[in-house]
Structure 1
Amino acid sequence: MTEVEGAPQEISDAIKRSDRNIIQTLADRNFVTLVELINIAGLNETLAEDGIYTVFAPTDEAFDRLPENAVPALKNNTPELRRVLTYHVVDGKILMENDIKNLESIRTLEGGELSVNVTATGIQIEGANITDADIITSNGVIHQIDKVLIPLR
Protein backbone atom coordinates (compact mmCIF):
# COMPACT_ATOMS: atom_id res chain seq x y z
CA MET A 1 0.00 0.00 0.00
CA THR A 2 1.25 3.48 -0.70
CA GLU A 3 1.73 6.29 1.70
CA VAL A 4 -1.48 8.03 2.74
CA GLU A 5 -1.52 11.46 1.12
CA GLY A 6 -1.31 14.24 3.66
CA ALA A 7 -0.99 11.88 6.61
CA PRO A 8 1.98 11.99 8.95
CA GLN A 9 4.52 9.24 8.31
CA GLU A 10 3.65 7.32 11.50
CA ILE A 11 0.00 7.07 10.42
CA SER A 12 0.97 5.94 6.94
CA ASP A 13 3.27 3.32 8.48
CA ALA A 14 0.55 2.10 10.86
CA ILE A 15 -1.94 1.70 8.03
CA LYS A 16 0.62 -0.16 5.97
CA ARG A 17 1.09 -2.57 8.90
CA SER A 18 -2.62 -3.22 9.38
CA ASP A 19 -3.86 -6.19 7.38
CA ARG A 20 -7.55 -5.88 8.36
CA ASN A 21 -9.92 -3.53 6.53
CA ILE A 22 -12.70 -1.54 8.17
CA ILE A 23 -15.33 -4.28 7.84
CA GLN A 24 -12.99 -6.99 9.16
CA THR A 25 -11.92 -4.78 12.06
CA LEU A 26 -15.51 -3.92 12.98
CA ALA A 27 -16.37 -7.64 12.97
CA ASP A 28 -13.25 -8.48 15.00
CA ARG A 29 -14.22 -5.91 17.61
CA ASN A 30 -17.84 -7.14 17.93
CA PHE A 31 -19.72 -4.26 16.31
CA VAL A 32 -22.42 -6.85 15.53
CA THR A 33 -25.34 -4.52 14.79
CA LEU A 34 -23.25 -2.07 12.76
CA VAL A 35 -21.73 -4.82 10.60
CA GLU A 36 -25.19 -6.34 10.03
CA LEU A 37 -26.62 -2.98 8.97
CA ILE A 38 -23.64 -2.24 6.71
CA ASN A 39 -24.25 -5.58 4.97
CA ILE A 40 -27.99 -4.93 4.59
CA ALA A 41 -27.27 -1.47 3.14
CA GLY A 42 -24.80 -2.92 0.66
CA LEU A 43 -21.93 -0.80 1.96
CA ASN A 44 -19.72 -3.73 2.97
CA GLU A 45 -17.83 -3.82 -0.34
CA THR A 46 -17.23 -0.07 -0.27
CA LEU A 47 -15.81 -0.14 3.26
CA ALA A 48 -13.76 -3.27 2.55
CA GLU A 49 -12.06 -2.04 -0.61
CA ASP A 50 -9.08 0.21 -1.09
CA GLY A 51 -9.84 3.78 -0.24
CA ILE A 52 -9.38 5.98 2.76
CA TYR A 53 -12.16 6.34 5.30
CA THR A 54 -12.75 7.62 8.80
CA VAL A 55 -15.66 5.80 10.43
CA PHE A 56 -17.47 6.85 13.59
CA ALA A 57 -18.73 3.44 14.73
CA PRO A 58 -21.66 3.21 17.15
CA THR A 59 -21.48 0.32 19.60
CA ASP A 60 -24.20 -2.31 19.88
CA GLU A 61 -25.24 -0.56 23.10
CA ALA A 62 -25.70 2.69 21.15
CA PHE A 63 -28.09 0.93 18.76
CA ASP A 64 -29.89 -0.63 21.77
CA ARG A 65 -30.59 2.89 23.10
CA LEU A 66 -32.52 3.88 19.97
CA PRO A 67 -36.33 3.74 20.15
CA GLU A 68 -37.61 0.16 20.15
CA ASN A 69 -38.55 -0.13 16.47
CA ALA A 70 -35.76 2.06 15.03
CA VAL A 71 -33.34 -0.70 13.98
CA PRO A 72 -36.03 -2.93 12.39
CA ALA A 73 -37.41 0.14 10.58
CA LEU A 74 -33.94 0.95 9.22
CA LYS A 75 -33.48 -2.66 8.09
CA ASN A 76 -36.67 -2.33 6.04
CA ASN A 77 -35.78 1.06 4.52
CA THR A 78 -32.49 0.66 2.65
CA PRO A 79 -32.28 4.28 1.38
CA GLU A 80 -32.71 5.65 4.91
CA LEU A 81 -30.33 3.03 6.32
CA ARG A 82 -27.66 4.04 3.77
CA ARG A 83 -28.22 7.69 4.67
CA VAL A 84 -27.77 7.03 8.40
CA LEU A 85 -24.70 4.84 7.89
CA THR A 86 -22.95 7.18 5.44
CA TYR A 87 -23.50 9.97 7.99
CA HIS A 88 -20.95 8.07 10.11
CA VAL A 89 -18.30 7.93 7.33
CA VAL A 90 -15.77 10.49 6.09
CA ASP A 91 -14.47 9.62 2.63
CA GLY A 92 -10.93 10.35 1.48
CA LYS A 93 -9.56 11.42 4.86
CA ILE A 94 -7.94 9.79 7.81
CA LEU A 95 -8.88 11.86 10.83
CA MET A 96 -7.00 10.79 13.91
CA GLU A 97 -8.14 11.93 17.36
CA ASN A 98 -5.59 14.77 17.40
CA ASP A 99 -6.85 15.97 14.00
CA ILE A 100 -10.47 15.93 15.15
CA LYS A 101 -9.64 18.05 18.22
CA ASN A 102 -8.68 20.90 15.91
CA LEU A 103 -11.88 20.84 13.84
CA GLU A 104 -15.23 22.53 14.36
CA SER A 105 -17.10 20.25 11.99
CA ILE A 106 -16.57 17.31 9.66
CA ARG A 107 -18.29 16.72 6.29
CA THR A 108 -19.58 13.16 5.92
CA LEU A 109 -20.05 10.86 2.94
CA GLU A 110 -23.81 11.47 3.35
CA GLY A 111 -23.15 15.17 2.75
CA GLY A 112 -24.00 16.43 6.22
CA GLU A 113 -21.78 18.17 8.73
CA LEU A 114 -20.90 16.64 12.08
CA SER A 115 -20.20 19.13 14.86
CA VAL A 116 -17.08 18.57 16.97
CA ASN A 117 -16.98 19.52 20.64
CA VAL A 118 -13.87 19.07 22.78
CA THR A 119 -14.74 18.69 26.46
CA ALA A 120 -12.75 18.11 29.62
CA THR A 121 -13.52 14.40 29.29
CA GLY A 122 -12.86 13.94 25.58
CA ILE A 123 -14.27 14.59 22.14
CA GLN A 124 -17.92 14.60 21.15
CA ILE A 125 -19.19 14.19 17.60
CA GLU A 126 -22.79 15.46 17.36
CA GLY A 127 -23.11 14.76 21.09
CA ALA A 128 -21.69 11.23 20.82
CA ASN A 129 -18.60 10.54 22.91
CA ILE A 130 -15.60 8.97 21.23
CA THR A 131 -14.98 6.08 23.63
CA ASP A 132 -12.15 4.36 21.74
CA ALA A 133 -10.16 6.39 19.21
CA ASP A 134 -7.64 5.73 16.45
CA ILE A 135 -8.45 2.09 15.65
CA ILE A 136 -6.20 1.65 12.62
CA THR A 137 -7.33 -0.44 9.64
CA SER A 138 -5.80 -1.14 6.24
CA ASN A 139 -8.10 1.43 4.62
CA GLY A 140 -8.61 4.05 7.29
CA VAL A 141 -9.40 4.60 10.92
CA ILE A 142 -12.35 3.82 13.21
CA HIS A 143 -13.48 5.82 16.24
CA GLN A 144 -15.92 4.01 18.52
CA ILE A 145 -18.82 6.22 19.64
CA ASP A 146 -21.56 5.75 22.22
CA LYS A 147 -24.49 7.13 20.20
CA VAL A 148 -26.00 6.56 16.76
CA LEU A 149 -25.77 9.74 14.68
CA ILE A 150 -28.98 10.66 12.87
CA PRO A 151 -28.73 13.10 9.94
CA LEU A 152 -31.17 15.96 9.64
CA ARG A 153 -33.80 15.54 6.98
Structure 2
Amino acid sequence: MRKSIVYTFVACLLIAAMPYSVSADASEDIPANAAATGVHDTLVEALTHAGLVATLQGDGPFTIFAPTDQAFADLGFDLSTYDTPEENETLADILLYHVYSGNVTSSEVTDGLSVEMMNGDSASFTVVDGVVKIGDATVTTADVNASNGIIHVIDKVLMPPADDPFDGIDCAVTVGLTSDGYGFSPSTRNIDAGQTVCWSWTDAAMAHNVKQVDGFQSSTYVTGGITSGAPATTVAFHHTFTENQTFYYACEPHIGMKMHGEIIVGDGGVQPVSNNGESEDAPGFVSSTLVLAVLGAVLFLGRRQNQ
Protein backbone atom coordinates (compact mmCIF):
# COMPACT_ATOMS: atom_id res chain seq x y z
CA MET A 1 0.00 0.00 0.00
CA ARG A 2 2.75 2.43 1.00
CA LYS A 3 4.73 1.50 -2.14
CA SER A 4 1.67 2.27 -4.27
CA ILE A 5 1.30 5.69 -2.63
CA VAL A 6 4.98 6.45 -3.24
CA TYR A 7 4.70 5.45 -6.92
CA THR A 8 1.62 7.62 -7.31
CA PHE A 9 3.39 10.59 -5.66
CA VAL A 10 6.47 10.22 -7.89
CA ALA A 11 4.27 9.97 -10.98
CA CYS A 12 2.49 13.19 -10.02
CA LEU A 13 5.82 14.97 -9.60
CA LEU A 14 6.97 13.79 -13.02
CA ILE A 15 3.74 14.93 -14.66
CA ALA A 16 4.00 18.33 -12.96
CA ALA A 17 7.57 18.73 -14.19
CA MET A 18 6.68 17.92 -17.80
CA PRO A 19 5.83 20.69 -20.26
CA TYR A 20 2.23 21.10 -21.27
CA SER A 21 1.15 18.53 -23.83
CA VAL A 22 -1.07 20.28 -26.32
CA SER A 23 -3.00 18.20 -28.80
CA ALA A 24 -4.28 19.92 -31.90
CA ASP A 25 -6.73 19.42 -34.67
CA ALA A 26 -4.88 20.39 -37.82
CA SER A 27 -8.21 21.03 -39.53
CA GLU A 28 -9.09 23.79 -37.03
CA ASP A 29 -7.70 27.32 -36.97
CA ILE A 30 -5.42 28.79 -34.30
CA PRO A 31 -8.13 30.32 -32.03
CA ALA A 32 -10.15 27.08 -32.06
CA ASN A 33 -7.09 25.03 -31.14
CA ALA A 34 -6.07 27.47 -28.40
CA ALA A 35 -9.56 27.32 -26.91
CA ALA A 36 -9.41 23.53 -26.81
CA THR A 37 -6.13 23.16 -24.89
CA GLY A 38 -7.55 24.01 -21.47
CA VAL A 39 -4.45 26.06 -20.60
CA HIS A 40 -5.00 29.05 -22.89
CA ASP A 41 -8.34 30.37 -21.66
CA THR A 42 -6.88 33.77 -20.71
CA LEU A 43 -5.21 34.12 -24.09
CA VAL A 44 -8.46 33.38 -25.92
CA GLU A 45 -10.36 35.84 -23.70
CA ALA A 46 -7.75 38.52 -24.36
CA LEU A 47 -7.84 37.92 -28.13
CA THR A 48 -11.62 38.21 -28.03
CA HIS A 49 -11.49 41.40 -25.94
CA ALA A 50 -8.98 42.98 -28.34
CA GLY A 51 -10.98 41.96 -31.42
CA LEU A 52 -8.19 39.79 -32.81
CA VAL A 53 -9.96 36.42 -33.09
CA ALA A 54 -11.12 37.13 -36.65
CA THR A 55 -7.56 38.12 -37.59
CA LEU A 56 -6.18 34.79 -36.40
CA GLN A 57 -9.00 32.94 -38.13
CA GLY A 58 -7.70 34.28 -41.44
CA ASP A 59 -5.80 32.31 -44.04
CA GLY A 60 -2.40 33.08 -42.56
CA PRO A 61 -0.15 31.33 -42.18
CA PHE A 62 0.57 32.60 -38.68
CA THR A 63 2.98 31.49 -36.00
CA ILE A 64 1.70 32.27 -32.52
CA PHE A 65 3.71 32.02 -29.33
CA ALA A 66 0.94 31.20 -26.88
CA PRO A 67 1.41 32.04 -23.17
CA THR A 68 -0.39 29.70 -20.79
CA ASP A 69 -2.94 30.77 -18.21
CA GLN A 70 -0.19 30.44 -15.59
CA ALA A 71 2.02 32.82 -17.57
CA PHE A 72 -0.71 35.46 -17.50
CA ALA A 73 -1.28 34.83 -13.78
CA ASP A 74 2.45 35.25 -13.07
CA LEU A 75 2.32 38.60 -14.85
CA GLY A 76 -0.62 39.73 -12.71
CA PHE A 77 -2.64 40.24 -15.87
CA ASP A 78 -6.14 41.67 -15.30
CA LEU A 79 -8.24 41.89 -18.45
CA SER A 80 -10.79 44.17 -16.75
CA THR A 81 -8.25 47.00 -16.64
CA TYR A 82 -8.30 47.27 -20.43
CA ASP A 83 -11.55 49.21 -20.61
CA THR A 84 -10.80 52.19 -22.88
CA PRO A 85 -9.99 52.36 -26.61
CA GLU A 86 -6.41 53.41 -25.78
CA GLU A 87 -5.95 50.51 -23.35
CA ASN A 88 -7.41 48.08 -25.89
CA GLU A 89 -4.85 49.32 -28.41
CA THR A 90 -2.16 48.55 -25.86
CA LEU A 91 -3.63 45.08 -25.32
CA ALA A 92 -3.71 44.43 -29.08
CA ASP A 93 -0.09 45.58 -29.32
CA ILE A 94 0.92 43.10 -26.61
CA LEU A 95 -0.98 40.21 -28.19
CA LEU A 96 0.27 40.89 -31.72
CA TYR A 97 3.81 40.84 -30.32
CA HIS A 98 3.16 37.10 -29.91
CA VAL A 99 2.24 36.58 -33.58
CA TYR A 100 4.48 36.25 -36.62
CA SER A 101 3.01 36.45 -40.12
CA GLY A 102 4.34 33.25 -41.65
CA ASN A 103 5.39 29.77 -40.55
CA VAL A 104 8.31 29.34 -38.16
CA THR A 105 8.90 25.76 -37.08
CA SER A 106 11.23 24.84 -34.24
CA SER A 107 13.72 23.38 -36.72
CA GLU A 108 14.01 26.79 -38.41
CA VAL A 109 14.87 28.64 -35.21
CA THR A 110 18.56 29.39 -34.76
CA ASP A 111 20.39 31.13 -31.95
CA GLY A 112 20.25 34.88 -32.52
CA LEU A 113 17.41 34.73 -35.05
CA SER A 114 15.32 37.92 -35.04
CA VAL A 115 11.88 38.25 -36.63
CA GLU A 116 9.42 41.10 -36.96
CA MET A 117 6.18 40.36 -35.15
CA MET A 118 2.78 41.55 -36.32
CA ASN A 119 2.85 44.62 -34.06
CA GLY A 120 5.93 45.86 -35.91
CA ASP A 121 8.50 45.15 -33.17
CA SER A 122 11.30 42.62 -33.44
CA ALA A 123 11.68 39.57 -31.22
CA SER A 124 14.86 37.54 -30.85
CA PHE A 125 15.49 33.86 -30.19
CA THR A 126 18.16 32.08 -28.22
CA VAL A 127 18.91 28.38 -28.46
CA VAL A 128 21.06 26.86 -25.71
CA ASP A 129 21.44 23.09 -25.25
CA GLY A 130 18.31 22.50 -27.28
CA VAL A 131 16.19 24.91 -25.19
CA VAL A 132 14.49 27.53 -27.35
CA LYS A 133 13.61 30.92 -25.90
CA ILE A 134 11.93 33.91 -27.46
CA GLY A 135 12.80 36.96 -25.42
CA ASP A 136 12.79 35.69 -21.84
CA ALA A 137 10.04 33.10 -22.47
CA THR A 138 10.84 29.41 -22.91
CA VAL A 139 9.10 27.35 -25.58
CA THR A 140 7.63 24.45 -23.59
CA THR A 141 5.74 22.79 -26.45
CA ALA A 142 6.66 23.38 -30.08
CA ASP A 143 5.15 22.83 -33.51
CA VAL A 144 1.47 22.42 -32.69
CA ASN A 145 -0.10 22.47 -36.15
CA ALA A 146 -3.34 24.27 -36.99
CA SER A 147 -5.10 24.77 -40.30
CA ASN A 148 -3.70 28.28 -40.68
CA GLY A 149 -0.38 28.11 -38.89
CA ILE A 150 1.67 26.87 -35.98
CA ILE A 151 1.34 27.25 -32.21
CA HIS A 152 4.34 27.27 -29.88
CA VAL A 153 3.45 27.21 -26.18
CA ILE A 154 5.54 29.56 -23.98
CA ASP A 155 5.79 30.03 -20.22
CA LYS A 156 5.82 33.84 -20.06
CA VAL A 157 3.93 36.73 -21.59
CA LEU A 158 6.09 38.70 -24.01
CA MET A 159 6.08 42.47 -23.54
CA PRO A 160 6.86 44.68 -26.55
CA PRO A 161 9.94 46.88 -26.20
CA ALA A 162 9.16 50.37 -24.97
CA ASP A 163 8.76 52.97 -27.69
CA ASP A 164 11.67 55.37 -28.10
CA PRO A 165 10.36 58.70 -26.73
CA PHE A 166 12.86 60.53 -28.92
CA ASP A 167 12.11 58.71 -32.15
CA GLY A 168 12.88 61.10 -35.01
CA ILE A 169 14.65 63.57 -32.71
CA ASP A 170 18.39 64.11 -33.05
CA CYS A 171 19.58 64.43 -29.46
CA ALA A 172 23.01 66.07 -29.40
CA VAL A 173 23.13 65.39 -25.66
CA THR A 174 20.99 63.15 -23.44
CA VAL A 175 20.92 64.15 -19.78
CA GLY A 176 19.97 61.56 -17.17
CA LEU A 177 20.34 61.21 -13.42
CA THR A 178 23.32 60.35 -11.25
CA SER A 179 23.31 56.97 -9.51
CA ASP A 180 22.13 58.48 -6.21
CA GLY A 181 19.32 60.39 -7.93
CA TYR A 182 20.38 63.79 -6.62
CA GLY A 183 22.14 65.16 -9.68
CA PHE A 184 21.91 65.54 -13.43
CA SER A 185 24.35 63.54 -15.53
CA PRO A 186 26.08 65.24 -17.22
CA SER A 187 25.45 68.44 -15.27
CA THR A 188 27.22 70.68 -17.80
CA ARG A 189 27.45 70.30 -21.57
CA ASN A 190 28.43 72.44 -24.52
CA ILE A 191 26.39 72.36 -27.73
CA ASP A 192 26.04 74.43 -30.88
CA ALA A 193 23.09 76.67 -31.65
CA GLY A 194 20.41 74.66 -33.44
CA GLN A 195 21.12 71.45 -31.52
CA THR A 196 18.71 69.59 -29.25
CA VAL A 197 19.18 68.44 -25.67
CA CYS A 198 17.10 65.53 -24.35
CA TRP A 199 16.42 64.83 -20.69
CA SER A 200 15.38 61.26 -19.95
CA TRP A 201 14.86 58.97 -16.97
CA THR A 202 12.48 56.06 -16.38
CA ASP A 203 11.01 54.75 -13.13
CA ALA A 204 13.37 56.82 -11.00
CA ALA A 205 13.18 56.35 -7.24
CA MET A 206 12.16 60.01 -6.85
CA ALA A 207 10.30 62.54 -8.97
CA HIS A 208 12.41 65.08 -10.85
CA ASN A 209 11.95 67.77 -13.46
CA VAL A 210 13.80 70.43 -15.43
CA LYS A 211 12.98 74.08 -14.71
CA GLN A 212 14.86 77.15 -15.87
CA VAL A 213 16.52 79.39 -13.25
CA ASP A 214 18.02 82.85 -13.75
CA GLY A 215 21.66 82.03 -13.09
CA PHE A 216 24.30 79.59 -11.92
CA GLN A 217 23.12 77.67 -8.82
CA SER A 218 20.23 80.14 -8.52
CA SER A 219 17.01 79.32 -6.69
CA THR A 220 14.97 81.88 -8.66
CA TYR A 221 12.88 80.43 -11.45
CA VAL A 222 12.45 82.25 -14.75
CA THR A 223 8.81 83.23 -15.27
CA GLY A 224 7.56 81.54 -18.43
CA GLY A 225 10.92 79.78 -18.75
CA ILE A 226 11.72 76.38 -20.20
CA THR A 227 10.41 73.46 -18.14
CA SER A 228 9.68 69.76 -18.51
CA GLY A 229 6.52 70.16 -16.46
CA ALA A 230 5.60 68.71 -13.09
CA PRO A 231 8.17 66.49 -11.35
CA ALA A 232 7.82 62.83 -12.36
CA THR A 233 9.66 59.53 -12.00
CA THR A 234 9.61 59.08 -15.78
CA VAL A 235 10.54 62.04 -17.95
CA ALA A 236 11.23 62.32 -21.68
CA PHE A 237 11.73 66.00 -22.50
CA HIS A 238 13.66 67.77 -25.22
CA HIS A 239 14.39 71.35 -26.25
CA THR A 240 16.17 72.80 -29.27
CA PHE A 241 18.36 75.83 -28.51
CA THR A 242 18.43 78.24 -31.46
CA GLU A 243 20.59 81.05 -30.02
CA ASN A 244 23.89 81.34 -28.19
CA GLN A 245 23.12 81.37 -24.47
CA THR A 246 23.75 79.60 -21.21
CA PHE A 247 20.69 77.73 -20.05
CA TYR A 248 20.64 77.28 -16.29
CA TYR A 249 18.15 74.88 -14.78
CA ALA A 250 17.29 73.01 -11.60
CA CYS A 251 15.15 70.17 -10.28
CA GLU A 252 12.30 71.70 -8.28
CA PRO A 253 12.02 69.03 -5.55
CA HIS A 254 15.79 69.04 -4.99
CA ILE A 255 16.81 72.63 -5.67
CA GLY A 256 17.71 72.98 -1.99
CA MET A 257 20.23 70.17 -2.52
CA LYS A 258 21.87 72.10 -5.37
CA MET A 259 20.52 69.83 -8.08
CA HIS A 260 21.36 72.15 -10.95
CA GLY A 261 22.60 71.87 -14.51
CA GLU A 262 23.66 74.09 -17.36
CA ILE A 263 23.73 73.92 -21.13
CA ILE A 264 26.24 76.23 -22.80
CA VAL A 265 25.07 77.02 -26.33
CA GLY A 266 27.78 78.31 -28.67
CA ASP A 267 29.75 81.03 -26.89
CA GLY A 268 27.25 80.96 -24.04
CA GLY A 269 25.86 84.37 -24.95
CA VAL A 270 28.99 86.20 -23.69
CA GLN A 271 28.91 89.99 -24.30
CA PRO A 272 31.57 91.27 -26.79
CA VAL A 273 34.51 93.09 -25.19
CA SER A 274 36.53 96.11 -26.40
CA ASN A 275 40.26 95.97 -27.18
CA ASN A 276 41.20 97.14 -23.69
CA GLY A 277 39.18 94.32 -22.16
CA GLU A 278 36.24 96.47 -21.06
CA SER A 279 32.78 95.80 -22.40
CA GLU A 280 30.68 98.63 -23.73
CA ASP A 281 28.44 98.33 -20.67
CA ALA A 282 31.34 98.52 -18.20
CA PRO A 283 31.67 101.64 -15.97
CA GLY A 284 35.13 102.50 -17.38
CA PHE A 285 33.83 102.54 -20.93
CA VAL A 286 30.88 104.76 -19.98
CA SER A 287 33.14 107.20 -18.09
CA SER A 288 35.59 107.48 -20.99
CA THR A 289 32.77 108.13 -23.42
CA LEU A 290 31.33 110.83 -21.16
CA VAL A 291 34.70 112.62 -20.85
CA LEU A 292 35.18 112.62 -24.60
CA ALA A 293 31.67 114.00 -25.09
CA VAL A 294 32.32 116.86 -22.62
CA LEU A 295 35.66 117.74 -24.25
CA GLY A 296 34.01 117.77 -27.65
CA ALA A 297 31.31 120.14 -26.41
CA VAL A 298 33.88 122.52 -24.85
CA LEU A 299 35.93 122.67 -28.05
CA PHE A 300 32.80 123.28 -30.10
CA LEU A 301 31.67 126.18 -27.87
CA GLY A 302 35.18 127.69 -27.81
CA ARG A 303 35.32 127.67 -31.59
CA ARG A 304 31.95 129.44 -31.85
CA GLN A 305 33.06 132.17 -29.40
CA ASN A 306 36.23 132.81 -31.41
CA GLN A 307 34.10 133.27 -34.48
Letter in 2 for 1:25: N
Q: Which of 53, 57, 62 is the aligned partner of 1:53? A: 62
Residue 19 (str. 1) matches residue 27 (str. 2): yes
Q: In the alignment, which residue of structure 1 is the partner of 2:93?
A: 83
Q: Deviations over 1:41-68 (max 9, x none)?
A: 000001012121000000000000013x
Normalized against structure 2, the TM-score is what?
0.42
Q: Is the 8 A contact 2:124 2:134 kept in 1?
A: yes
Report SS of the residue matched to 1:65: helix
Q: Which of these two proteins has the greater Rg computed from alpha carbons?
A: 2
Tell whether the 8 Å contact from 1:63 to 1:148 is kept in structure 2 after alignment: yes
Question: Within 2, Cα distance between the matches of 1:45 and 1:152?
Answer: 25
* 1: CA distance, partners of 2:45 / 2:137: 21
Unaligned stretches of 5+ in structure 1?
Answer: 1-16
* Partner Cα separation in structure 1 for residue 138 and residue 62 of structure 2: 19
Aligned-residue offset at 1:72: 3.4
> For the residues of structure 1 that align with 2:111 and 2:64, how far apart are their CA atoms?
17
Match of 2:158 in 1: 149
- Partner of 2:80 in structure 1? 72
Kindly tell me the number of residue pairs found equivalent between the two proteins.
Answer: 135
Who is 2:137 aligned against? 128
Alpha-carbon contact 2:67-2:154 (below 8 Å) kept: yes
Is the CA contact (8 Å cut-off) linking 2:140 and 2:155 kept in structure 1? Answer: yes
Structure 1 counterpart of 2:126, from 105, 114, 117: 117
Determine what percentage of the aligned residue pairs are the same residue: 35
TM-score, normalised to structure 1, is: 0.82
In structure 2, stretches of 5+ residues that fail to align are: 1-24, 163-307
User: Secondary structure in 2 aligned to 1:141?
Assistant: strand
Distance 1:74 1:52 in 2: 28
Tell me the distance in 1 between the aligned counterparts of 2:74 and 2:130. Answer: 22
Q: Choose 129-138 or 100-109, whichever is displaced more.
A: 100-109
Q: Is the 8 A contact 2:111 2:126 kept in 1?
A: no
* Cα offset, 1:85, TM superposition: 0.3
- 1:141 Cα deviation (Å)? 0.2
In proportion to residue count, which structure has more helix?
A: 1
Contact preservation (8 Å) 2:71, 2:155: yes
Question: Equivalents in 2 of 1:40, 1:82: separation in Å?
Answer: 9
Structure 1 residues 74, 130: CA separation in 2 closer, same or farther (over 3 Å shift)? farther
Higher relative contact order (CA 8 A, sep 6+): 1
The Cα shift of 1:37 comes to 0.2
Runs of 4+ off more than 6 Å: none
> Aligned match of 1:33 in 32, 39, 42?
42
